[in-house]
Structure 1
Amino acid sequence: MRAVTTPEVIALKGRTLGPTAWFPVLQDRVDAFARAVEDWHWAHDDVERASRGPFGGTIAHAHLTLGLVPHLFASLVGFAEGEDAMFYGYNKVRFPTAVPVGSSLRMSATIVEVVDLGGGEELTVDLLMEVDGVERPACAAQAVFRHYAVKAPD
């Protein structure tokens, strides 16, 4: 991945980036997420009980799947020195299928809109997260990022 400059960010409109490399979703990550957000539902953390449940095993939290967006998006596009993008929000999020623990995810991103804000750009991005070997996506979302010329503090 090559770092893009402001004119190249503007030119991303209409482009599809990715997919990313496959990212494994393991039980230790699901448990760490549960600890961080205090969400201890049996479908996520009780391996024995979940094995008898509707998914045949534990599944990742939907918000864990969504929480991987910044990491996966950063593997698709980087920004030039002195520039960065900040997450601004989501317009729509859906989770059509569960992410079984032990499976892998990957993401593709389509830049549907780039708006010049005068001092930065707003990118509207359609995201699609796939589970390896599963037809339906794990997550379909529309995210909004703001790109600025900004230097991180030392």
Structure 2
Amino acid sequence: MTPQELQAKVGQNIGVSDWFEVSQDRINKFAEATGDFQFIHIDEEKAKLTPFGGTIAHGFLTLSLIPVLSAMTEGARVSNVKMGVNYGGNKTRFISPVRAGKRVRAHVKLLDLVEKRPGQWQQTNEYTIEIEGEDKPALIAEWVMQFFV
């Protein structure tokens, strides 16, 4: 679709991703990458003694899944995009922890789409990351990207 066709969908849900497992191995690798070795993420025995009942993903790990979940989302897409970049976040709230081994998926709502310069578009989406089998989402984030056509 064209950017203008996508623009007509502002305010609408534009996709839901497939389910994605957040494994302990992924959590451990994220700890290695970020230097965040807090025991609630990597020490399965200690974490069992917490209210979480086991290890949980880093909140920033859950946030960093937006690109992979977006790629797994069937829905409204602009054709002939040359390049896309992250621009930043307006709001992010970590609602519920993601326990190791749980699956998550993204629900995407288009909040805004504006042309900043000819061929350069800024898209703001609300991502709600759902945890399989749980009532509350892991996070809700308002994320801004730019793409070029």
TM-score normalised according to structure 2 size: 0.90
Work out whether residues 79 and 85 of structure 1, in 8 Å CA contact, stay in contact via their aligned partners in 2: no
CA-based RMSD of the aligned residues comes to 1.5
More deviation in 109-118 or 63-72?
109-118
Q: Percent identity?
A: 35
- 1:44 and 1:79 map into 2 onto residues whose CA distance is 37
- What do the CA deviations read for 1:98-127 (whole angstroms, capped 9, x no partner)? 000010000011001111212211111111
More deviation in 137-146 or 78-87?
78-87
Q: How does 1:1-154 map to 2 (within 5 A)?
A: 4-76=1-73, 78-119=77-118, 120-149=120-149
TM-score normalised according to structure 1 size: 0.88
- What do the CA deviations read for 1:60-116 (whole angstroms, capped 9, x no partner)? 000000000011112225543353321100000000110000100000110011112
Which 5+ residue runs of structure 2 have no aligned equivalent? none
Which 5+ residue runs of structure 1 have no aligned equivalent? 150-154
Q: For residue 111 of structure 2, what is the amino acid of its counterpart? A: V
Equivalent residue of 2:57, what SS?
coil
- 1:55 and 1:109 map into 2 onto residues whose CA distance is 27
More deviation in 7-16 or 99-108?
7-16
Equivalent residue of 1:107, what SS?
strand
Q: How many residues align?
A: 146
Work out whether residues 6 and 77 of structure 2, in 8 Å CA contact, stay in contact via their aligned partners in 1: no
